[in-house]
Amino acid sequence: MTLDLESRLNLEHDEQPVAAFLAENGGGLDRDDTLGGEGGDPAVYWLTMRPASHPAERYFARVGWEAYPYNHPSIKFATGVRGALNVTSAWPVMTGYRPTSFDICRPISKEGFAIHPEWAEGSTAWPTEGNPFLWVAQTIQFHLDNDYQGRAS
């Protein structure tokens, strides 16, 4: 992914509250280009998350931005940080999360807005005020804490 300078600066501004929030919930945040090795991508973040009801479980959400805060991110679950993105068991079972399609059918992700173009208008439109990155992280965590039905098979 390519990321313009404005988006990069905006993400750098907003990422610390996201990291703090995830840490409070037993998870963590890694920006891909800080992980070492070749091909690190500053547009990609790896969110390590767990449901409050199953603290031993770990989920790894890959969040990839194209223009921040103006565009919704691609969100996929992986087998680990920089892990495979095409494994259904990497996904939590929750309303709107579709492991076999590898997408989240909710107005928080690029994939969801692609399925429902009508979400671009009205109250479902992508929010650009405040810290949308934190909102994405809090929304996924809220689903994990309130709608978690187990790990996909």
Fill in the per-residue mask, 54 to 83: x = in contact with another protein (CB under 8 A), - = not in contact: ------------------------------
* Interface with another protein (CB under 8 A), residue from 34, 95, 101, 149: 95
Shortest CB 134 distance to another protein, Å: 4
Size of the site for another protein (CB under 8 A): 25
Q: Among residues 131, 140, 111, which one has the least CA distance to residue 11? A: 131
Query: Contact region for another protein (CB under 8 A) — 1-9, 27-35, 36-44, 128-136?
Result: 128-136
φ and ψ at residue 13, rounded to 5 degrees: -70, -40
Q: Among residues 13, 14, 92, which one has the least CA distance to residue 48? A: 92
Q: Which is nearer to another protein, 44 or 112 (CB)?
A: 112
Shortest CB 56 distance to another protein, Å: 16
Question: What gap in Å lies between CA 39 and CA 29, rounded to an integer?
Answer: 18
- DSSP line for 85-119: S--GGGSB--TTEETTTTEE-STTSHHHHHH-GGG
Residues near 24 by Cβ (< 8 Å), separated by ≥ 6?
none
Fill in the per-residue mask, 18 to 57: x = in contact with another protein (CB under 8 A), - = not in contact: -------x--------------------------x-----
Shortest CB 125 distance to another protein, Å: 10
Report the helix count and the strand count for the chain, using DSSP H and E.
3, 6
- The answer to whether 3 and 15 have CB atoms below 8 angstroms apart is no
Residues within the interface to another protein (CB under 8 A): 17, 25, 52, 95-96, 105-107, 112, 122-124, 127, 129-132, 134-135, 138-139, 141-142, 145-146
